[in-house]
Structure 1
Amino acid sequence: MDKGKMAEWLAQGSVAIPKLLLHHYKRLGLTEVEFMLLLHLHSFIEEGIWFPTPAELAEKMTLTPSQCMETLRKLLQKGFVSIEEQVDEQAVRIEKYSLKPLWEKLVYYLFVQSANEERMERQEEEQSLYTMFEQEFGRPLSPFECETLTMWVDQDEHEPAIIKAALREAVLSGKLNFRYIDRILFEWKKNGIRTIEQAKDYGKKFRKHQLKQAPASQTEYKQTVTFYNWLES
């Protein structure tokens, strides 16, 4: 094989296609023909040919020039491609194709998809939260208790993981009631506790302080008792 010819081929470069577009073009509402035409249009633009004709596009595809023209028209109507005007160095107005609308649609789709996934994860977390409370209380929650849980999440903006941590803290303390859990959450929020690790450290300091404040005989008894540290589970 002619090495010079190989080097010439490699020097032509390549067209970078985002994997995200390859994976999601169907969900964006693009057909295979439209997708392929967009790729060729992208290639022409990267080569500095800003307004390829339908005939030039047809040379790269199995479509006729009229079919390329019709596909371009659909892409313009669907908002995947736009035509912009630009003034060159000689002050001559020229038209060029822009794929900016395509990238904007792709980014918007990914943002929506991410938001939907986060919402689903949060719903699953909240459902898990209700289930965990009912398991610990050994009964279905009352309407008032369900409303309290909702307020902790929506109004007080406590993360479900933090609410679960407060529940376990109440179980560990032997004070399983909503008033006590609410007090834990209030204290944690007042002291800037927003993660499990912070709750873990705060709990250690709090128990250490309690041991110092307790009478000597009571302290000796407490030191013989081993507590299960749920924060490390």
Structure 2
Amino acid sequence: MTGPLDLAVAAELARMKLARLAHFTPARNLPHIIRDGLLRSVADLAQDVRACYSATDLQRFDGRPDRLCCSLQYPNGFYFTIAKGRAASVNYPDWTCLLLDKKVAAAPDTLFCPRNAAASAGTARPGVDGLRACYADTVVGQRVYTRGPNHDPGSPTDVQAEVLVIAPVSLSAIRAIVFPSEAAAEEEYGRLDRFGLVPPDGVDYVISPGMFDKWAITRAVQNSQYFSETSWSPKAA
């Protein structure tokens, strides 16, 4: 990772069992991410006629369309359920989940949201205290969330907790591209290959239907009932 870091947040992240950040994006955006070498905010994407986003994305209830909204450890499956049902997604129904280096969250001025970013609007906090708030024993929202004895130690207390990171994020921060099926991975790999845009070394392909299932994610977070995350390569396809 390059650029300045909030050293207190970086130290806290290194201590934690959190493995990664996660971010959903329409598969249609993959060529642009790889070509540009950047993962951009929806405010930036709105200026790019190539990108796939919904106009309602700019009405972000968290009030920060200039930020990249990520989740801690697992993606926000509840957001995904809403996003894939939007009218703008009907013609482009395929999505991927990007797994990012957790150090992205150590950039100065990153905002941490103990609940989902929309619910935390106005209360998102920067710094190590904001990060720790996502892992509090109790988080109060529409209901009270607590960390039970089987709670995944790397996951936040509320399964929908999010991080608003500084955008754009470099392609070098992407550790894996997750697909819901082998067929989806084959299709997207073939498309990227035709464009001469196969991701660089260090970016893995992963098959994980559970990553796209909000209830599987919830069970993984709250009860450590983990689902498969299987490496994939075109040679094995």
Relative to total residues, which structure has the larger strand share, 1 or 2?
2
TM-score (norm 2): 0.20
Relative to total residues, which structure has the larger helix share, 1 or 2?
1
Q: Which has the larger radius of gyration?
A: 1
